Amino acid sequence: MWILGLLVLLVLAGFFSLSLGSTHIPFATLSRTLWAWFLAGGKRPDGIASTIIFRIRLPRLILGLVVGGALSVAGVIFQGLFHNPLVEPYTLGVSGGAALGVCLLVVRGWQFFHGVNILPLAGFSGAVITVALVYAISSKQGLLQTNIMLLAGVMVSFISSSAIMLLMALSQSLQEIHSLLFWTMGSLEESNLALIKVIAGSILLGVGVSFMFYRELNALALGEEEALHLGIPVERAKKWLFLLGTFLTGLSVSVSGMIGFVGLIIPHLMRMLAGSDHRLLIVSSFLSGGIFLILADTLARTVIAPVELPVGVITGLVGGILFIYFLYGKNVILG
């Protein structure tokens, strides 16, 4: 029932996202355009509304779904590894490392290699290098100390953010500084359909592989000793899960910048509402993360239209308020 309900909400959020913006498209026009596109076998019909829908808003809708879902699933993975509901890709330094890798390429003008956009590779590489550094700091005699890793991740995140600000300070182009600043605050403004297809396909593959580790995540929720007694190869599972979370985060950051709170608030909310069984938690977090980011992007495009806000500003404000509300509701703040 949770999955069906979230699918219905996803369809409704998609309609709102395609309809609302600086140019409003009535639901009747939107329905006719989508129906004509379906009857034509995927060929885009003529008209201004069709151009706005298929060239501008649909790519953002797809990115919102896969990026929001990927960040949420990465949050589920990291929270399951650390047994801590406050862990997310940003606090572990994964987002910062991926963003630094992308910014280095943008500043050097190396976004394309033989005509191929390599920003996703740069984001994933930056995330992997950061994770390797954090892993080396927090490993002792081949064992991963999760508490030390969390502290190391926070410090590496600060270092990555400082390095990004240094790149902006050294940049000679005001346009480049503005684009980097806007990108680091989060944006789904990507019109390269080929890049979107690669990112979407890769993220869906990563989420599918993550789902295959639901037994390991369920066992790790009982504690590492209990997981070992259940026959789970804990150290190998932790390495694979950490790599999967890094993969999903790196791809998301490479195309959308650093979008905070999605990987924190959505898994926490779904764990409260749908339960802690990762068979349901991974799927529900992917869908609800996509819904949340789609609605946040719609709000960012419309709240002061025609000026567009960075979507990370919306997710930070809404996610922060929601998280404080949950903490207050559980009497964590007031004790």
* Digit-coded pLDDT (tens) for 247-279: 898 888 888 888 878 888 898 888 888 888 888
| Domains with residue ranges and CATH for the chain | 2-329 (1.10.3470.10)
Residue 334: the pLDDT is: 39
pLDDT of residue 304: 81
Residue of 64, 128, 68, 84 lying closest to 301 (CA atoms): 64
Nearest to 131 by CA among 247, 251, 23, 22: 247
Is 196:62 a contact under the CB 8 Å cutoff?
A: yes
Distance between CA 232 and CA 228 in Å, rounded? Answer: 5
The 3 state secondary structure assigned to the chain is CHHHHHHHHHHHHHHHHHHCCCCCCCHHHHHHHHHHHHHCCCCCCCCHHHHHHHHHHHHHHHHHHHHHHHHHHHHHHHHHHHCCCCCCCCCCCHHHHHHHHHHHHHHHCCCEECCEECHHHHHHHHHHHHHHHHHHHHEECCEECHHHHHHHHHHHHHHHHHHHHHHHHHCCCHHHHHHHHHHHCCCCCCCCHHHHHHHHHHHHHHHHHHHCCHHHHHHHCCCHHHHHHCCCCHHHHHHHHHHHHHHHHHHHHHHHCCCCCHHHHHHHHHHHHHCCCHHHHHHHHHHHHHHHHHHHHHHHHHCCCCCCCCHHHHHHHHHHHHHHHHHHHCCCCCC
One-letter amino acid identity for 293? L
Residues across the chain: 335
Enumerate residue ranges in the chain where pLDDT < 50: 331-335
Q: How far apart are CA 159 and CA 322, in angstroms?
A: 28
Over residues 143-155, the pLDDT tens digits come to 556 667 777 877 8
Q: Is the dihedral of CA 152, 79, 63, 308 positive or negative?
A: negative
**Model pTM?**
0.86
Nearest alpha carbon to residue 296 among 259, 333, 258, 254: 259
8 Å CB contact between 12 and 52? no
